[in-house]
Structure 1
Amino acid sequence: MKKTPTNFVKLTLLSLCLTLLAFSCKEKAEEKKEDATPDHFEAADAIIKSIIVPQFPDKTFNITDFGAVSDGTTNNSEAIKKAIDSCHNSGGGKVIIPSGKFLTGPIYIKSNVNLHLEEGAEVLFSTNTKEYLPVVHTSYEGQELMNYSPLIYAYKEKNIAVTGKGTFNGQASNDNWWAWCGKDVYGYTEGEPRQQDEHNLPRLWEMSDNNIPVSERVFGEGYQLRPQFMQPFECENILIQGVTFTNAPFWVVHPIKSNHVTVDGITVKSHGPNNDGCDPEYAKNVLIKNCVFDTGDDCIAIKSGRNNDGRQVNIPSENIVVENCDMKDGHGGVVMGSEISAGVRNVYVRNCKMDSPELDRAIRIKTNTLRGGFVENVYVKNVQVGQVKEAVLKINTYYGTYANQEGVYMPTIKNIHLENITVENGGKYGVLIKGRPESFVKNVTLTNVHIKGAKTDLSVENSEPITFENTTINGKTY
């Protein structure tokens, strides 16, 4: 007769099976954990969800109701100001600039105002420099000062927007703002005043180094420091959507010391000197998406102050997402620096296209030991590069367009990751890195990166070894 197993034996066998199953599941989980590649872009999605996009009351204020005339010659500064003031004072809404050509001086946007350009609207900014006085609290190349007003300006405002399908035309040219850069290609004549003269930039640098209060750094008339096109300064909840910017005096869209910034679907077509497309500086929680950049300088340049000013302010630019943008022309596609003294972290770039014989670099980091600063946690994914002139990735800690760029502030650069990048014509270098013997560039990875047509595969100095995975340069596997 067969013996039936006792309950004790049954329980023992069950316990043993469960234990073996648990060990097996744990091993598989650990194997899966080791094999899994973390999706850093989940953090980018979280940043996007956290950004506050301003909302506005359903009220409209048409500038023509305040006396604006669309003949391209009547100065509408006062009419636009009245419309914005009325909108702001009534609790907010939309200030409409209808189809037509409207000449104006600088525009000051106030809280809860959406300045909306209807299709066919063109705002022409005056070329008379005196229109941009009195001076306002602004900045120039990473240093704060009192200077000509930006063409579109907001200072310490909340919930502001510029939207629509119209065009802002700065009307800058070789005949007005551009010549001040000091280059004959932009209309400069030898012997005329320029920004490099002692009374201009060197004076500002000295004031910054000596911690002179911003209120005493007065420039403006008699000086040659050009204004930004659009500058939200110390603002929150900003939307810039749909509009076109052209013919800028200097940097185009420059949110500085601002939080919760959305730049969506704008077109920047401006080839003057220092015509960067979008320059977040000391900025946090920024989304730049669906934009077209065709610029005379960097398409997107993330900044955080220059030299002593940057270290005193000490606000890193962080949590910045760039997606679905088309970089048609410019010195760099997405750039960090050179004004970078307070540091940059957590930058995410995905699903972009970069293609131009004049595009110098796709991804660029630039600093030196006067500017110092740090760059960390940069993630670039799913980018198509047609051609670049110099390098797909350039990291340079010896950057300098002016003399005497050596100091005591050693920059640090780490965690730079490129994934799923295709390059048809890589220019002079596939990857170009110049770190410092005292501060190696750390943790650079290239995964599924395929570069064709580079004259030199790699030029790497003072960097930890690059980590390659399924990467080819000129057909060679790394």
Structure 2
Amino acid sequence: MQNTFNIIDFGAVGDAVTLNTHSIQAAIDACTETGGGTVLVPQGEFLTGTIMLKSNVELHLAATARIISSMEEQDFDPDVNIGRRGLICARHANNISVTGLGTIDGQGPRFLEEDDFQGDHVLLPLQEFRPKLVDLEGCFDVLFRDVTLWRASSWCLHMTGCQRVNVQSIKILGQLRGPNNDGIDPDSCRDVHISDCHIEAGDDCIVLKTTDYGAVAYGACENITVTNCTMISRSCALKIGTETFADIRNVVFQNCVIRNSNRGMGVWSRNGGTIENILFQNIIVETRLFSDEFEQTRKRKWWGKGEPIFVTAEPRRETHLGKPGPIRNIRFDQILAEGENAVYLEGSEDCIIEGIAIRNLKYTMKQRSPYPGGVFDTNPTARGVFPHPTPALFCRYGKNISLYDIEIEWSAPLNKHWKQALYGEHLEDLSLVHFRGAPAAGENAIELKHVNKLSVEHSKARPGTETFLALEDVEPSQLFVVGNDFSEAGTAIRFTDGSKPEYFAAANRMPSPK
């Protein structure tokens, strides 16, 4: 029979006032010294500082149990950097778990300025010290199941260099106006499975990264699955990066619902590592703008401007941290999306994104916020936030880009900044198949510049389209146009220099002569 160690038997008092750090730690130490077992947190509210989990220990919280974070810096591990201090910690422990229907409470709102419920900008911290709720490093065979992680003051569940991790059926109820309030951060981890979770976070909900520390100590982040989760985020719900000091690869996100969020799915390369072999599949996403860039200071604004999909490879603002690494072999499939800004795919002159495919996307541009829009946000970069017309899909500096079965709709009232269904430039080998969409404003449904090797097949112009395909600096000998229905457009294809070159075209239904 498994050993069970009740923290009450080691002197813990669940009155939300008594500091129980030593009592809880004594129960954990006794458990691991006898070969392992369960440390039980029973009914009550147990105030504590850093608790260090040990090998072969299950920390089990009864449904009526609550572990409460101290707010005093001296109650946390003094031997680690202030940015790596946490409430529940483990270092190089094996076979550890945190289970049960109880709650781990970070007391996050007490670390921030008071919420006056006016606006949706970031609430500023009252102090530098804001401990993570859970911080694990170098652990094998880790399980989190059923617990509620409540109002972390900083990152909620951070795992560095951990392997064979399962996070199942937990709830993360963070601070939607709290800075750095990430949900789950696998950092240079391997073989991680996150499933059936609900996450509300002021920052990213689930974000894979390779920080500078994690990259040096543990290397790549790889072999990750995220399934059956629901999320709300003021930053990005499902994210890779921005910290990419080592490779991130072999990742599947599927069967998720993202709502009332700033960004939906994102891939950022900023620091040299390669990002490759990533699948996003069967996802419903709803995004909007939060806080107005031109009314709030940088410290009070959120990154992101309502993009359901965001892929970017660009140097970080701090150029000494190196150039971005490659992004390649990224797939988005079966996506239903609403948002206020473009599906955004952009590399840079020095780092072309490659092998990006979006299949079976229905995207409805719909204004849900009171903010004006008309800006792109590439933070953290030197460009930062800048004005830009807003297409439904935006693509620049890409190679082998495939857009298959894309349907674009515009919901009234139309934002004055909304323009083309697709705008792209500096692309090589772009394939459009079953693309349906009209412009929100202007004459061009699709506008492309500086494209080498373009294929447009089985696509359909929508009513309200003056020109379906407007081309500038596109080599006619590399243009393939087959099986399209251009009948609803005023003009099927127009070269913006006024020329009428020959290109391969077959079986297209053309507009009626005027």
* Letter of the 2:339 counterpart: G
Matched, 1:298 2:204: yes
Specify the alignment match of 2:156 in structure 1: 252
Q: Cα offset for 1:225?
A: 5.5
Specify the alignment match of 2:265 in structure 1: 363
3-state secondary structure, aligned to 2:31: helix
Specify the alignment match of 1:186 in structure 2: 123
Compared with structure 1, are the counterparts of its residues 187 and 439 closer, same or farther at alpha carbon in structure 2 (3 Å cutoff)? closer
Contact 2:188 / 2:215 at 8 angstroms: preserved in 1?
Answer: no
Specify the alignment match of 2:307 in structure 1: 391
Compared with structure 1, are the counterparts of its residues 132 and 342 closer, same or farther at alpha carbon in structure 2 (3 Å cutoff)? same
Matched, 1:468 2:403: yes
Specify the alignment match of 1:211 in structure 2: none
Aligned mates of 1:458, 1:436 — CA distance in 2: 17
Q: Cα offset for 1:365?
A: 1.2
Contact 1:340 / 1:367 at 8 angstroms: preserved in 2?
Answer: yes
Specify the alignment match of 1:221 in structure 2: none
Matches within 5 A, 1:16-35: none
Specify the alignment match of 1:101 in structure 2: 45
Specify the alignment match of 1:217 in structure 2: none
Structure 1 gap ranges (5+): 1-56, 137-144, 195-223
Contact 2:226 / 2:253 at 8 angstroms: preserved in 1?
Answer: yes
Specify the alignment match of 2:393 in structure 1: 458
3-state secondary structure, aligned to 2:156: coil
Matched, 1:449 2:361: yes
Aligned mates of 2:194, 2:95 — CA distance in 1: 17
Q: Cα offset for 1:185?
A: 5.1
Contact 1:376 / 1:413 at 8 angstroms: preserved in 2?
Answer: yes
Please report the TM-score for the alignment, with normalisation by the length of structure 2. Answer: 0.67
Aligned mates of 1:160, 1:325 — CA distance in 2: 23
Compared with structure 1, are the counterparts of its residues 360 and 66 closer, same or farther at alpha carbon in structure 2 (3 Å cutoff)? same
> Which stretch of the first structure deviates more once superposed, 338-347 or 380-389?
380-389
Compared with structure 1, are the counterparts of its residues 349 and 185 closer, same or farther at alpha carbon in structure 2 (3 Å cutoff)? closer
Q: Cα offset for 1:244?
A: 0.9
Aligned mates of 2:215, 2:137 — CA distance in 1: 18
Specify the alignment match of 2:246 in structure 1: 342
* Letter of the 2:331 counterpart: H
Aligned mates of 1:175, 1:407 — CA distance in 2: 30
Specify the alignment match of 2:34 in structure 1: 90
* Letter of the 2:336 counterpart: T
Compared with structure 1, are the counterparts of its residues 101 and 375 closer, same or farther at alpha carbon in structure 2 (3 Å cutoff)? same
Compared with structure 1, are the counterparts of its residues 427 and 166 closer, same or farther at alpha carbon in structure 2 (3 Å cutoff)? same
Contact 2:50 / 2:75 at 8 angstroms: preserved in 1?
Answer: yes
Aligned mates of 2:307, 2:400 — CA distance in 1: 18
Compared with structure 1, are the counterparts of its residues 178 and 316 closer, same or farther at alpha carbon in structure 2 (3 Å cutoff)? farther
Compared with structure 1, are the counterparts of its residues 155 and 314 closer, same or farther at alpha carbon in structure 2 (3 Å cutoff)? closer
Q: Cα offset for 1:388?
A: 4.4
Identity in percent: 31
Matched, 1:70 2:7: no
* Letter of the 1:240 counterpart: F
Matched, 1:438 2:373: no
Q: Cα offset for 1:295?
A: 0.4
Compared with structure 1, are the counterparts of its residues 286 and 73 closer, same or farther at alpha carbon in structure 2 (3 Å cutoff)? same
* Letter of the 1:393 counterpart: I
Contact 1:133 / 1:148 at 8 angstroms: preserved in 2?
Answer: no
Of the three residues 71, 92, 95, the one matched with 1:159 is: 95
Q: Which has the higher contact order (CA 8 A, sep 6+)?
A: 1
* Letter of the 2:94 counterpart: K
Contact 1:310 / 1:340 at 8 angstroms: preserved in 2?
Answer: no
Compared with structure 1, are the counterparts of its residues 407 and 188 closer, same or farther at alpha carbon in structure 2 (3 Å cutoff)? closer
Q: Cα offset for 1:148?
A: 5.9
Aligned mates of 2:101, 2:142 — CA distance in 1: 17
Aligned mates of 1:460, 1:147 — CA distance in 2: 37
The size of the alignment, in residue pairs, is: 368
Specify the alignment match of 1:288 in structure 2: 194
Cα deviation 1:149-182 (Å, max 9, x = unaligned): 3111000100000011011011133547999xxx
Q: CA RMSD in A?
A: 2.4
Greater helix percent: which structure?
A: 1
Matches within 5 A, 1:138-153: 145=81, 149-153=85-89
Structure 2 gap ranges (5+): 116-120, 290-305, 367-389, 410-435, 438-458, 461-514
Compared with structure 1, are the counterparts of its residues 282 and 178 closer, same or farther at alpha carbon in structure 2 (3 Å cutoff)? farther
Contact 2:132 / 2:155 at 8 angstroms: preserved in 1?
Answer: yes
Aligned mates of 2:88, 2:329 — CA distance in 1: 36
Q: Cα offset for 1:248?
A: 1.2
Of the three residues 217, 223, 234, the one matched with 1:330 is: 234
Specify the alignment match of 1:375 in structure 2: 275
Aligned mates of 1:311, 1:186 — CA distance in 2: 31
Of the three residues 179, 183, 191, the one matched with 1:277 is: 183
Cα deviation 1:259-299 (Å, max 9, x = unaligned): 00111111111112101100000100000100111001000
Q: Cα offset for 1:434?
A: 1.9
* Letter of the 1:392 counterpart: P
Specify the alignment match of 2:413 in structure 1: none
Compared with structure 1, are the counterparts of its residues 178 and 149 closer, same or farther at alpha carbon in structure 2 (3 Å cutoff)? farther
Aligned mates of 1:156, 1:185 — CA distance in 2: 35
Greater strand percent: which structure?
A: 2
Matched, 1:409 2:313: no
* Letter of the 1:397 counterpart: A
Contact 2:4 / 2:40 at 8 angstroms: preserved in 1?
Answer: yes
Contact 1:177 / 1:226 at 8 angstroms: preserved in 2?
Answer: no
Aligned mates of 2:341, 2:97 — CA distance in 1: 41
Q: Cα offset for 1:67?
A: 1.4
Aligned mates of 2:159, 2:336 — CA distance in 1: 31
Runs (4+) of structure 1 moved beyond 4 Å? 145-148, 174-179
Contact 1:382 / 1:419 at 8 angstroms: preserved in 2?
Answer: yes
